[in-house]
Amino acid sequence: MSKKAQFALFSPQAGQSWHQLVERAHRCEKLGYHSIWLVDHMWTRGMPDLDHHECLALMAGLAAKTEKIRIGTLVICNSYRNPALLAKSLATIDHISNGRLEIGYGAGWMDEEYKAYGYQFPSMGTRLKMFEEGLHIMKAMFTEKRATFKGRHYSIEAASCNPKPVQQPHPPITIGGSGEKVMLKLVARFADRWNCPAGYESFEHKFNALKDHCKDVGRDVNTIDVSEQLLVCIGKTDEEVEQKWKMAQMLKPFISTGIKGTPKQLIEALRKRMAMGITTFTIFFSDFAPPPTLELFASEVMPAFA
């Protein structure tokens, strides 16, 4: 795994039209961002009337409209789609993008969304078991000629998934979550990248838990890329930074683990994060990433890590 810093945009599609989303992806691509990450929700929590495009269809559309930027989702909810069909859809998107798909995958959490769309909302333990079976099925669909799996929640029999993904053996799988007993164990067993969600109490504690799980399954932790979902508040001056930071106070849980500053201050803060073992930053800009913010970060911060 590369240990060079990678900067990605965490870009929930709330309130944005298709044309605005395409424009944002093009801008990020032109500015040199590594990837753009959507969310897998039917609406934004607390704002159900905002426009909110479905993520798999949107990934396919953005894949067709871009050339270089990688396209992911933090994170696809296992509960919303049969995992074999999900693998089939993702393999197709990998072809549409010519091998630029990033698979972010999780167990699901937004209970009111499950209820509204008629999905069962089982206990966290059950959702994690279902997620684990989904991971087995997804990898089998990507790598085996005919995939068979019999689980408690899902079963497939001699399922073919052709064409196989462009990226071999499969597109990188990012698992987002920080539950120490189960989720980080699944990261150690299945993931190419771990994305630590914002709002943690101690990154070091979480990372040590992952290292322990890696030891238990006989895996070198250095084969896992470590990313952080990171709130960034950037301004040209200290005054601008403080003004933006005041406005960002409503962004919980992002605010508790976020960073703020002028470009020079952010470079220093990001270097500290890299010293902790983080190499990919999925950035949620505190002002929701208008073009000047995307451009300021790309021109003044990113070159320090080239």
What is the rounded average pLDDT of the residues 4-17? 96
Alpha-carbon distance of 38 to 120, in angstroms, equals 24
pLDDT per position as a tens digit, 240-294: 999 999 999 999 889 999 999 999 999 999 999 999 999 999 999 999 999 999 9
Residue 160: which of 145, 148, 172 has the closest Cα?
145
Query: Domains in the chain, start-ordered, CATH in brackets?
Result: 6-305 (3.20.20.30)
Alpha-carbon distance of 199 to 56, in angstroms, equals 26
b/e per residue 128-163 (b: at least 16 CB within 10 A): bbbbbbbbbbbbbbbeeeebebeeeebebeebebee
On the question of a cis peptide bond just before residue 253, with omega within 30 degrees of 0, the verdict is yes
Residue 90: which of 160, 141, 132 has the closest Cα?
141
pLDDT per position as a tens digit, 187-243: 999 999 999 999 999 999 999 999 999 999 999 999 999 999 999 999 999 999 999
Alpha-carbon distance of 170 to 227, in angstroms, equals 19
CB 204 within 8 A of CB 226: no
pLDDT per position as a tens digit, 22-58: 999 999 999 999 999 999 999 999 999 999 999 999 9
